[in-house]
Amino acid sequence: MLIKEVEKALNEQITIEAESSQIYLAMASWAEVKGLEGVAEFMYAQSDEERQHMLKLVKYINERGGHAKVSQLNAPSSSFGSFKEMFETLFKHEVHVSESINELVHICLQVKDYATHNFLQWYVAEQIEEEAVARNILDKINLIGDDKGGLYLFDNDIKQLTVQSSVQIQP
């Protein structure tokens, strides 16, 4: 049986994951309108991945005897100034998600919910990967600077960058 305090925190994480999906979707749309086809493709894939993270939490809560809740979401920004600013926003958001996951792990340890603690280890590993990818992308963007040719190559290359997690998520 799921401890109520843990259930509440997991439901809050569902909202964070859903908002993450929406943020990536808004970024994909912005990039597509700007002609950044590769960036848009990457962001659409990230949006789908975040939705899968949300669904994994929904199923876990329900399987443990809790009730997963679907809540209202905050609307993401639809404009980002530059693609560099967009990726800086992405990185900051991933750090926020990592902090939230870490807080969830902390709650589980406090209330001795070791099953949920174990379940959350996948998310801990996933966030390490997500932050590393975002940091790597920002490093590449900083190397490009204002070079339009570099931007073209970056946009083409990012299509190859797909983040595959080590755990298959079943919707």
How much is the pLDDT for 53?
97
Within-domain flag for 165: no
AA identity, residue 5: E
Give exposure, 66-81, as e/b (b: 16+ Cβ within 10 Å): bebeeeeeeebeeebe
Residue 170 inside a domain? The answer is: no
- Known binding residues: 17, 50, 53, 94, 127
What's the pLDDT at 162? 53
Q: Is pLDDT of 140 > 80?
A: yes
C-alpha 90, offset from chain centre: 9
Tell me: pLDDT of 167 over 50.
no
Number of domains in the chain: 1
- Domain assignment present for 169: no
Domain assignment present for residue 166? The answer is: no
pLDDT at 147 over 90: no
| Domain containing residue 105: CATH number | 1.20.1260.10
What would the pLDDT profile of 81-129 be if each residue is shown by its tens digit? 999 999 999 999 999 999 999 999 999 999 999 999 999 999 999 999 9
Whole-model pTM: value is: 0.90
Which of 153, 148, 127 minimizes the C-alpha distance to 82?
148
Q: Is residue 171 part of a domain?
A: no
Q: What share of the chain is helix, strand, coil (3-state, %, to 5)?
A: 75, 0, 25
- Give, for 147, the enclosing helix (H) or strand (E): none
In a domain, 117, yes or no: yes
Quick check: 68 and 61 in contact, CB under 8 A? yes
- Is residue 165 over pLDDT 80? no
Binding residues for Fe cation: 17, 50, 53, 94, 127
For the stretch 39-77, pLDDT in tens is: 999 999 999 999 999 999 999 999 999 999 999 999 999
Domain that holds residue 141: 4-160
